[in-house]
Amino acid sequence: MHPKALLDESAILIEQVFKFEHPTDAVVARHFRENRSLGSRERATLSDTVYSILRQRLKLEWLARSGSGSKWRRLAILAFPGDRDFIKSALTEPEKTWLDHCDAVKDADLMAQHRHNLPEWLATALREQVGNEFDALVASLNQPAPLDLRVNLLKAKRDAVLASLQKAGLVGEATPYSPLGIRLQGKPSLAKLPAFTEGEVEVQDEGSQLLALLLDAKRGEMVVDFCAGAGGKTLAIGAAMRNSGRLYAFDTSGHRLDALKPRLARSGLSNVHPVAIAHERDDRIKRLAGKIDRVLVDAPCS
């Protein structure tokens, strides 16, 4: 796609995201479904641009004020990933000059809120909690999240999966804390990867893997994932139970639970029972009172 067309597409998507009517990942996914001519590189560029803006929103909105034209175009220019010469080929001369001035701004020249990109109430609370670690923490929060996979031990071992990924041309390594995790370099497409389609791995951040491990669910127990959503931790818990016992995936959103179905089919688990509930006092919950061995409540999602 020509740089100008890609920049225009970015501005359109950013405007949709900033309506904040739906979660960003849902907006991005819908945009890709409606524009199937976009290739994998174009989709990756659009996604990187959107999420870069969200991570650095305060800073980029402040820099964008000095430009002209559409706000969404200005944000897209500032956050556009990769080689600046590529994006500059789509810009007017005034826009090139403006971008050079913005790129010349150093973090040390910015106000505190434009360095950490957090709402003040959150920045204040974090400073009180972590003290001198605040700057290091917010610097990490402003970085793109890595792509982590969880190995489904019902179907494969981590070393074997790492070898299969390497054979497929992907670069990955064991996660530092989770014994089930693999961290991939970059953001490769997994949709046609045999390890993914056959249920040997699921996309899951290392932190969520650790939370499921901390629950320490055992074989034969009755367990509830109370805010299951799309079921990432549910699947991890089910595998830890070695597909035995009974595992309930509760959520008030049937739509979120629907996203669990294809993941559950790949996983090979038969001990998971998704249940859409009306609220926390639903009769289906009351009937389980005193019968459950372990309950996970991760709200909001860690």
Sketch the domain layout of the chain as residue ranges: 3-105, 147-205, 209-296
C-alpha dist (Å) from residue 72 to 22, 54, 75, 288: 18, 13, 5, 50
How confident is the model at residue 222, as a pLDDT? 98
Options 3.30.70.141, 3.40.50.80, 3.40.50.720, 3.30.70.1170; CATH for 147-205 is 3.30.70.1170
Cα separation, 110 vs 213, whole angstroms: 41
Cα separation, 225 vs 215, whole angstroms: 10
How confident is the model at residue 302, as a pLDDT? 61
- The answer as to CATH 3.20.20.70 being correct for domain 209-296 is no
Cα separation, 163 vs 3, whole angstroms: 37
How confident is the model at residue 299, as a pLDDT? 82
Give which of 59, 31, 58, 56 is closest to 45, Cα–Cα: 31
How does strand 246-251 pair with strand 272-276?
A: parallel
pLDDT mean values, one per 10 residues, the chain (302 residues): 94 97 93 94 94 95 95 97 93 97 94 94 96 94 91 96 95 97 92 94 96 96 95 96 97 92 95 94 92 92 66
Q: Is the pTM of this model over 0.95?
A: no
How confident is the model at residue 189, as a pLDDT? 85
Cα separation, 217 vs 294, whole angstroms: 7
How confident is the model at residue 21, as a pLDDT? 93
CA atoms within 13 A on the CB side of 283: 0
How confident is the model at residue 288, as a pLDDT? 94
